[in-house]
């Protein structure tokens, strides 16, 4: 009799355990939500979508806002499916984290407003304003003699990417024409310093080694910078020093778009 009673107790415990496990699985499954946003499927937890009260997504999940379903029974939201990943990441992390080089601030701000996420909308607009301000600031590149900074060329532009392009071009040419990358040639964020310049009848040459190996003349570099700027849609605002007549004889070039 005792054995039978013990066996029944074990069976009851197993049933209760299985029932609790089944309930937990059921609760976990119902906490997962699949959204179809513009044809892109996203699976996330209910608590993520309801993180911000009075938001569009919270309203859908809690039944305040009617939302259509697709053919598979998923919530369908007719918005930008690619940009929604940034909306979802914000809900998960509680902060705006965007990939490097992200340029769709205006579109993302519109999406944030649609989903009624005021905090996200303000964060995107703040980021956008900072980028606009930075793009208006003048960036410069100085190519100079390490012993005499009055010798050389200065290029000013309101587009950092253009300065970076000119800079990489000089470094590329230097590396291709020399064995290795000599210590005499140093590059910082805004200044490229050569060991020294020499002047000859053919113009000032950018010297890298004691044996007078050179990259190009300053005049050639100026001409290439001007042509590159024009091809990229920039215009020459001023040469900043027109007293010498020709632009290629100027100490500085200033471009703007």
Q: What share of the chain is helix, strand, coil (3-state, %, to 5)?
A: 45, 25, 30
Residues 52/62, Cβ–Cβ less than 8 Å:
no
For the chain, where do the domains classified as CATH 3.30.710.10 start and end?
26-134
Q: pTM of the full predicted structure?
A: 0.48
Given this model, what pLDDT does residue 206 score?
59
**Hey, what are 86's tokens?**
């940034």
Q: 26-134 sits in which CATH class?
A: alpha beta
Question: For residue 90, what are the CA distances in angstroms to 38, 94, 168?
Answer: 19, 5, 35
Residues 243/233, Cβ–Cβ less than 8 Å:
no
Given this model, what pLDDT does residue 121 score?
94
Given this model, what pLDDT does residue 147 score?
63
CB atoms within 10 A of CB 247: 16
Given this model, what pLDDT does residue 24 score?
46
Q: How far apart (Å, rounded) are the C-alpha atoms in residues 256 and 131?
A: 17
Residues 157/255, Cβ–Cβ less than 8 Å:
yes
Question: For residue 204, what are the CA distances in angstroms to 68, 173, 211, 220, 257?
Answer: 71, 17, 16, 10, 29
Q: How far apart (Å, rounded) are the C-alpha atoms in residues 255 and 161?
A: 12
Q: Tell me the pairing of strands 191-194 and 139-145.
A: parallel
Given this model, what pLDDT does residue 222 score?
76
Q: Tell me the pairing of strands 40-45 and 32-37.
A: antiparallel
Question: For residue 109, what are the CA distances in angstroms to 30, 45, 100, 122, 157?
Answer: 31, 24, 17, 8, 29
| SS3 of residue 226 by DSSP | helix
Instruction: Report mean pLDDT in 10-residue bins for the chain, 257 residues.
Output: 55 56 50 95 96 95 95 96 96 91 90 96 88 65 66 76 77 60 56 59 53 63 78 73 57 76
């Amino acid at each position: 009799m005792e054995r039978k009673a013990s066996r029944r107790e074990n069976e009851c415990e197993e049933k209760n355990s299985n029932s609790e496990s089944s309930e937990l699985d059921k609760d976990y499954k119902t906490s997962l939500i699949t959204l179809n946003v513009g044809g892109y499927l996203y699976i996330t937890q209910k608590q993520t979508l309801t993180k911000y009260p009075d938001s569009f997504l919270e309203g859908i999940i809690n039944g305040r806002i009617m939302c259509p379903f697709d053919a598979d029974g998923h919530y369908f939201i007719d918005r930008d499916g690619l940009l929604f990943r940034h909306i979802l990441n914000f809900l998960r992390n509680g902060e705006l984290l965007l990939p490097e080089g992200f340029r769709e601030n205006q579109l993302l701000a519109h999406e944030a407003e649609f989903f009624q996420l005021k905090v996200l909308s303000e964060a995107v607009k703040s980021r956008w304003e900072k980028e606009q301000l930075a793009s208006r600031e003048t960036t410069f590149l100085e190519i100079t003699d390490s012993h005499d900074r009055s010798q050389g060329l200065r290029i000013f532009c309101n587009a950092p990417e253009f300065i970076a392009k000119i800079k990489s071009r000089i470094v590329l040419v230097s590396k291709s024409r020399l064995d290795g990358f000599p210590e005499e040639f140093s590059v910082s964020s805004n200044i490229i310093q050569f060991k020294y310049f020499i002047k000859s009848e053919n113009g000032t040459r950018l010297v890298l080694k004691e044996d007078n190996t050179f990259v190009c003349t300053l005049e050639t570099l100026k001409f290439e910078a001007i042509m590159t700027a024009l091809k990229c849609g920039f215009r020459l605002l001023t040469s900043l020093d027109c007293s010498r007549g020709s632009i290629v004889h100027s100490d500085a070039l200033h471009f703007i778009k």
